[in-house]
Amino acid sequence: MSINNKEFFQKLSDAVVEMDEDEVITLSNEIVAQGIDAYDAIDQGLSHGMEKAGKLFEEEEYFIPELLLCSDAMYAGLDVLKPHIKVNAHGVKHKVVIGVVEGDTHDIGKNLVKIMLETSGFEVFDLGRDIPPQQFVDKAKEVNADIIALATLMTTTMDGMDEVVHLLKKENIKDRYKVVIGGGPISQSFADKIGADGYAVNAADAVKLARRLVSDPSEVAV
């Protein structure tokens, strides 16, 4: 990647953090015009900016209004860039059921993961946010999913992830699905503790993990 591209991505990230929707749109259009990879722009620009905004929120430098304005800027950029992503389709699509666990209504991170999975050739069934554990299991059985992806940004709702794994084991169907988890308070040690098959720190990492899990079922580590 050239220095020019890196500078574009950094400006895009900064514009998201600065809640500058117009600048995000301008930069995104320029990225498209110059033929710069749209997926990389989302990953290293828009997503990076939202991660920074999330940290500012955690540090109480930003509050809900600022975070919402950052997300508005990010989605404005997504509207421009998403149609220009080169989809990597390889015949049969692996299926992912994704959602934010019950009690949590934060879905920006989940939405980014969904977009990047779709553009990487996965068929994604998005349940949305505040989803009860049984609903993940039911949907996975309904669509014959390969992966169940669970997200949360709250420590108080992490137990919902554990409950999904518990329900799968209770029905003796855990071996049918790979369970991946992610979000601010989540760690690899928590994934190990509840018996999940992997943990992703961000959207790009989630795609890499998903690819590994469906290409080599024996590999479960990140």
- Per residue in 88-147, pLDDT (tens digit) is 544 568 999 999 999 999 888 898 888 888 877 799 999 999 999 999 999 999 999 999
Say which residues have a Cβ less than 8 Å from residue 108's Cβ, sequence separation at least 6: 50, 54, 71, 74
Residue 163 has pLDDT above 50, yes or no: yes
Give yes or no for a contact between 215 and 191, defined as CB atoms under 8 angstroms apart: no
Query: What per-residue confidence (pLDDT) applies to 3?
Result: 54
Q: How far apart are CA 204 and CA 6, in angstroms?
A: 17
What amino acid is encoded at 82 in this protein? K
Domain boundaries, the chain: 3-84, 95-215
- Contact (Cβ atoms closer than 8 angstroms) between residue 190 and residue 181: yes
CB count, 10 Å around CB of 159?
15
Q: What mean pLDDT comes out for the span 48-56?
A: 84
pLDDT for residue 220 is more than 50: no
Average pLDDT, the chain: 89
CATH topology of domain 95-215: Rossmann fold (3.40.50)
Least confident of 71-75, 115-119, 185-189, 208-212: 115-119
Task: Between 22 and 120, name the one with better pLDDT.
Answer: 22
pLDDT at 43 (0 to 100): 83
Whole-angstrom distance, CA of residue 96 vs CA of residue 115: 12
Confidence check: pLDDT of 216 > 90: no
Please name which of 158, 89, 142, 215 lies closest in space to residue 150, comparing C-alpha atoms. Answer: 158
Confidence class of residue 184 from pLDDT cuts 50, 70 and 90? Answer: confident
Which is it for strands 95-101 and 123-131: parallel, antiparallel or unpaired? parallel
Length reported for the chain: 222
Is the domain spanning 3-84 CATH 1.10.1240.10? The answer is yes
